[in-house]
Amino acid sequence: MRPIAGIFANYRTKSFWLDHAATGYAESPALEGLVRADVLVIGGGLTGVSTAYHLKLAEPSLRVALLEAEVVGYGASGRHAGFIAPVIGLPLSLMTARFGAQRTLEARRYAEHACAYAAQVIQTNRLASEYEACDYLQVAATPAQRRRALQEVEFAHRLGILAVDWIEATPLRALIDSPTYLGAKREHGAALLNPARFTREIKRLAVAHGVEIYEHSPVIQLDFGPVIRAQTPRGAVEADYCALAINAYAVQFPPLRSKQCPLHFYAVATEPLTPAQRNSLGWHDRQALSDTRALPHEYRLTADDRILVAGGDARYIAGNQTGMYSSARVFEDLAIFIDQTFPSLRGIPITHQWGWVASATADLTPALGFVSGDRRVVYSVGNLEHNAALSLLNGRVLSDLLLERKTDLTDVFFVKRATIPLPPEPARSIIIHAALSILRARDALDERRGLGDPAIRGA
Ligand SMILES: Cc1cc2nc3c(=O)[nH]c(=O)nc-3n(C[C@H](O)[C@H](O)[C@H](O)COP(=O)(O)OP(=O)(O)OC[C@H]3O[C@@H](n4cnc5c(N)ncnc54)[C@H](O)[C@@H]3O)c2cc1C
């Protein structure tokens, strides 16, 4: 396993969230010497700290040690947009085509359960995560997007999913004033939070339940002998069980390499809006927003009223690279997206721009299970969704798998499922780049006549 070098000493620059979650954050020490544990968790993202927390919740006598290469929340968990929405993987119609209606409903119920469970954990434990309940609107900005979004609403209703409805253009613009809006699919039961704070609050809970967390401790060698042994630069952990909660970084680990690929995504945040700018948009219910592109933008207001936009494009770097956290082209596109969507904010200064790496399986659906059939070692990959709650619930499922607890959650189809293997290079690059080009081409075709209603935007 090639370690992640501690290149970025100053984590504040890694994302808007890590910048804001830095104040008062007490880093845990790096591992020194040998630690003997019952369970080793590798990865200090939300999936990892959640796995460790749920193991202690279920079996307080267990000795659980967690190794994080950098700091908790360093990966995608401290960088994404902080949405919680009852969505998972592919749009419902595509998921049904891939897995059938029954499994699509299973996945949907899992995502809904994840949203409710996250709210419960946050409220019960009074977690300081800037949690705010809201609706999630998937906005259509072109006639083709409008057609597809409407079909998704009808499809949801046919599946019996009723917490979804359609908002026409005029009432939508009364909620949020953008000339690009042609209507929106609305998901009720969503929320927004500060993903870095949320991940670190779950860390705080885990530590309070007795989990030993070691930061700045990249696993550089991992052996699955009679005793599982993870080597770090200045220490080692020996354990009977192991959870690999490293998501996109799982490419380091050969048995998981064919299950997923690391895709880079980017985000920007503006300076805080003035009250006048704020009022010019409406957006009083602070909905979580995305568009219905093949490569969607997701955007929101932060707690201090900045506009944060993420997504819009994705990059795969040949050789499964995981550290390309900057893209001038995508940062520029995201700034242009803000100007197009909210012309009254044209040219608003961007204060933060960052990237992260997320994990994509071949069918864009999560996969959890045992590594190579070894019931001592579990993994989670493919969490690509706008749903922080998924990583929290996935952690609980990994804990249940290690404790051999059969639950409704461990019976969901993407747990212990076989994944479509992704080939090694160079075929991997050819396939992924072809797929991304097709998605970009569809978006370009959709947007060839501009966004929104020409009559409204004065084309
Ligand atoms: C465009 C886009 C938008 C998204 N928006 C959202 C959103 O709004 N809400 C949401 O919840 N999710 C969102 N996601 C998904 C989200 O990014 C991830 O799925 C999720 O955060 C994964 O969490 P994790 O804990 O599994 O992985 P990570 O947070 O990536 O954690 C993995 C950890 O493992 C550590 N690690 C790696 N290698 C080693 C090693 N050798 N030794 C020790 N530690 C190691 C890393 O440093 C890292 O901290 C989005 C994804 C995309 C692509």
Q: What's the CATH number of domain 1-130+190-422, 3.40.50.300, 3.40.50.2020, 3.50.50.60, 3.40.50.10470?
A: 3.50.50.60
> What pLDDT digit, counting tens, does each position of 258-305 carry?
999 999 999 999 999 999 999 999 999 999 999 999 999 999 999 999
Q: Is 316 in the pocket of ligand 1 (CB under 6 A)?
A: no
Output the pLDDT for position 93: 94
pTM metric for this prediction = 0.95
Q: Where are the domains of the chain?
A: 1-130+190-422
CB neighbour list of residue 136: distance below 8 Å, 6 or more residues apart? 83, 85, 86, 87, 186, 187, 190, 287, 288, 289, 290, 386
Residue nearest to atom 7 of ligand 1 (CA): 386
> Which runs of consecutive H residues, i.e. helices, occur in 228-291?
254-257, 275-281
- Is the Cβ–Cβ distance between 330 and 293 less than 8 Å? no
Match 């504040």 to its residue by tokens.
12
Q: Is 68 in the pocket of ligand 1 (CB under 6 A)?
A: yes
- In degrees to the nearest 10, what's the CA dihedral of 35, 40, 44, 46? -150
Q: Is 230 in the pocket of ligand 1 (CB under 6 A)?
A: no
Q: Is 260 in the pocket of ligand 1 (CB under 6 A)?
A: no
The identity of residue 2, as a single letter, is R
Per-residue pLDDT of the chain (459 residues; tens, 9 = 90+): 333 344 445 677 889 999 888 778 889 999 999 999 999 999 999 999 999 999 999 999 999 999 999 999 999 999 999 999 999 888 999 999 999 999 999 999 999 999 999 999 999 999 999 999 999 999 999 999 999 999 999 999 999 999 999 999 999 999 999 999 999 999 999 999 999 999 999 999 999 999 999 999 999 999 999 999 999 999 999 999 999 999 999 999 999 999 999 999 999 999 999 999 999 999 999 999 999 999 999 999 999 999 999 999 999 999 999 988 899 999 999 999 999 999 999 999 999 999 999 999 999 999 999 999 999 999 999 987 667 889 999 999 999 999 999 999 999 999 999 999 999 999 999 999 999 999 999 999 999 988 887 676 655
**Token pair for 265:** 């995504």
User: Which atom number of ligand 1 is nearest to the Cα of residue 3?
Assistant: 41
Cα 246 to middle of ligand 1, angstroms: 7
Output the pLDDT for position 456: 63
Output the pLDDT for position 458: 59
Alpha-carbon gap, residue 83 to 451, rounded angstroms: 24
User: Which atom number of ligand 1 is nearest to the Cα of residue 43?
Assistant: 34
**Token pair for 447:** 């947007």
- Is the Cβ–Cβ distance between 300 and 81 less than 8 Å? yes
Q: Is 311 in the pocket of ligand 1 (CB under 6 A)?
A: yes
Q: Is 383 in the pocket of ligand 1 (CB under 6 A)?
A: yes
Alpha-carbon gap, residue 230 to 195, rounded angstroms: 28
Residue nearest to atom 25 of ligand 1 (CA): 45
Cα 77 to middle of ligand 1, angstroms: 4
State which of 14, 66, 80 you would mutate to test the pocket of ligand 1, scoring each by most atoms of that ligand within 8 A of its C-beta.
80
Q: Where are the beta strands (DSSP E) in 16-156?
A: 33-42, 64-67, 83-84, 132-139
Report the SS3 class of residue 33: strand
Alpha-carbon gap, residue 308 to 16, rounded angstroms: 9
Q: Is 265 in the pocket of ligand 1 (CB under 6 A)?
A: yes
Q: Is 69 in the pocket of ligand 1 (CB under 6 A)?
A: yes
Alpha-carbon gap, residue 459 to 447, rounded angstroms: 14
Q: Is 360 in the pocket of ligand 1 (CB under 6 A)?
A: no
Cα 373 to middle of ligand 1, angstroms: 24
Give the N- to C-terminal CA distance of the chain in Å, as an integer.
54
Cα 80 to middle of ligand 1, angstroms: 8
Cis omega (within 30 of 0) for bond into 3? no
DSSP 8-state code for residue 176 = B
- Is the Cβ–Cβ distance between 50 and 395 less than 8 Å? yes
Q: Is 262 in the pocket of ligand 1 (CB under 6 A)?
A: no
Q: Is 43 in the pocket of ligand 1 (CB under 6 A)?
A: yes
Residues in the chain: 459
Beta-sheet pairing, 350-360 with 261-270: antiparallel
The torsion angles phi and psi of 240, rounded to 5 degrees, stand at -90, -25
Helix or strand (DSSP H, E) at 379: strand 374-381
Residue nearest to atom 34 of ligand 1 (CA): 43
State which of 50, 247, 256 you would mutate to test the pocket of ligand 1, scoring each by most atoms of that ligand within 8 A of its C-beta.
247
Alpha-carbon gap, residue 398 to 200, rounded angstroms: 19
In Å, how far are 29, 36, 207, 288 from 235, measured between CA atoms? 12, 11, 20, 43
Residue nearest to atom 52 of ligand 1 (CA): 384
Residue 190 CB coordination number (10 Å): 24
